[in-house]
Amino acid sequence: MDPTLDYLDQASFLGLRALGHGPVNQFVWVYHRPVDLATLRRFHAGLGVGLLGRLVETSVLPFGRHRWVRAASPPLELIDQELPEEQIGTWLDEQAALSVDPEHGPGWRLLVRPLAGGGTVVVLLVSHTLADGLGTCEAITAAVTGAGGGPAYPPAGARTPTQALREDTRTAVRSLPDTGRAVSAALRVPRPEGRESPRRARRRPGPRGPGVTVPSALLTGDADQWRTRAHDLNGTTTSLLGAFAALVARCLGRTHADGRVRLVLPVSLRTPGDTRGNALSSISVTVAPAEASADLRPVRAAQRSAMAELSECGNALLAPVALTPYVPRRLVRRLEVMALGQGLPVGLSHLGSVAEAVNRPDGTDADRLWVRSLESLTRRELDDLDGTLRVASVIVAGRVGVSVSAWQSGRVESRAALAGCVAAAADELGLAYRLD
């Protein structure tokens, strides 16, 4: 097995180093009872095999390709202090400040905390460099089922300096054709359209301030009711979630001059046995919130058109990331912009229906499951980005779990303000839900 990082994985890692922070996947299971700790410990041990059982070892060359190396599992974190159930969301938001590092470790963490009244909350944090959402689902499934047998990564620090120099030079030479194609692709990528904050151009390097706790809202709904509602509105669950995200964005004021919202949706490229951390591309669609709340056909048509274009063009927009090893850290973000676009994006990640095992960290079904993306951002960074809005969803065990994380300066800076926007969007679409 070749342990060399895929270009997108290296871009993810270098972007983290350039900014001092990066996205973290957060899987949250809520049980209405105590969990089976013995089974949970086996689950924890199983997570240390495969995609999560690795870290990044950097190349000895300044322009070299990094590689994956074997990593020891972090300890299971058992928290004794009970958490009131109404404070689950606040505690989950605060975990953006916890250390998860794909190079120095730990690359992931598993936390268990009792709830007042006898329940339990289990949280898995994973650096997005190690694995994207579906990659993490595969790792969870393997750990729950005891499948094991992940890739055999080399041990960290096993190479002598001479061996490392020789091997990394060979890898860099083999990558030269990719570099040539990336240069051509970068020249062909048009400048993305969309509103940019004038503050972004004036930003100067400086020490990062303290991270802001970006508020979130967590919804749980009956999957059949949501599917029925989507059908009534001439759409699917995916287009329904697109309309929901657009309505939340409108409430936040995260719209363009024409009142439309730009949704950015990741598209999985993961194949059986795939060892890439980030096996994905993305599509971008614009949605008119007022239209979407009454009829999902425009949203569905826009998503289909974007998917068809992606299928026709392949990964042309991602080709420039092969330049990642050769550019200074400060320019890595520009490559990401070229690949994924800019403006006022609303991130919408729908994992769809996942394996039942994903909902069973202690061997039995959790009562609620949410999947979220966390990132420690300062007030200055949030202002430079004109705020942030991320919506993620998953379907399992007959339920839909939706998480919404957002910050819009002067408009939505608290859980209460965000909850009002989320509830209004769900009500406008006629959805039945529980809001946490």
Number of domains comprising the chain: 2
Among 177, 193, 222, the domain boundary falls at 177
Residue 203 lies in a domain: no
Q: What is the mean pLDDT of residues 294-301?
A: 96
Residue 188 lies in a domain: no
Instruction: List the helix and strand counts (H, then E) for the chain.
Output: 14, 16
pLDDT in tens, 73-87: 999 999 999 999 999
- Provide the CA 326 distance to its chain's centre, in angstroms: 25
pLDDT in tens, 213-238: 999 999 999 999 999 999 999 999 99
Which one, of 192, 212, 145, lies nearest residue 415 by Cα? 212
**Residue 154 sits in the same domain as residue 75:** yes
**Residue 173 sits in the same domain as residue 222:** no
Q: What is the mean pLDDT of residues 360-374?
A: 97
Which one, of 283, 269, 345, lies nearest residue 317 by Cα? 283
List the CATH number of the domain containing 425: 3.30.559.10
**Residue 164 sits in the same domain as residue 227:** no
Residue 78 lies in a domain: yes
Taking all residues of the chain, what is their mean pLDDT, rounded to a whole number?
88
Q: What is the pLDDT of residue 317?
A: 56
* C-alpha dihedral, 298 to 432 to 362 to 390, nearest 10°: 40
Residue 103 lies in a domain: yes
Q: Where in the sequence is the domain holding 221, given as residue range(s)?
A: 212-435
DSSP state of 118: S
> How many Å from the N-terminal Cα to the C-terminal Cα in the chain?
44
Query: Using CA atoms, how far apart are residues 321 and 294, in angstroms rounded to an integer?
Result: 39
Query: Using CA atoms, how far apart are residues 57 and 123, in angstroms rounded to an integer?
Result: 26
Q: What is the pLDDT of residue 181?
A: 53
**Residue 96 sits in the same domain as residue 173:** yes
In sequence order, what E strands does 193-331 have? 211-212, 216-222, 261-268, 280-287
Residue 198 lies in a domain: no
Residue 31 has pLDDT above 50, yes or no: yes
**Residue 351 sits in the same domain as residue 402:** yes
Written as one string, the DSSP assignment of 292-320 is HTT-SHHHHHHHHHHHHHHHHHTTGGGGG
**Residue 294 sits in the same domain as residue 366:** yes
Residue 24 lies in a domain: yes
**CB burial class (10 A; 0-12, 13-18, 19+) of residue 176?**
exposed
SS3 406: strand
Among 128, 150, 177, the domain boundary falls at 177
DSSP state of 130: T
Q: What is the pLDDT of residue 204?
A: 46
Contact 429, 232 (CB under 8 A): no
**Residue 271 sits in the same domain as residue 400:** yes
pLDDT in tens, 113-172: 999 999 999 999 999 999 999 999 999 999 999 987 778 899 999 999 999 999 989 887
Which one, of 71, 96, 369, lies nearest residue 212 by Cα? 96
Among 131, 158, 177, the domain boundary falls at 177
**Residue 220 sits in the same domain as residue 123:** no
Distances in Å between the alpha carbon of 133 and those of 53, 235, 391, 394?
16, 24, 13, 10
**Residue 216 sits in the same domain as residue 323:** yes
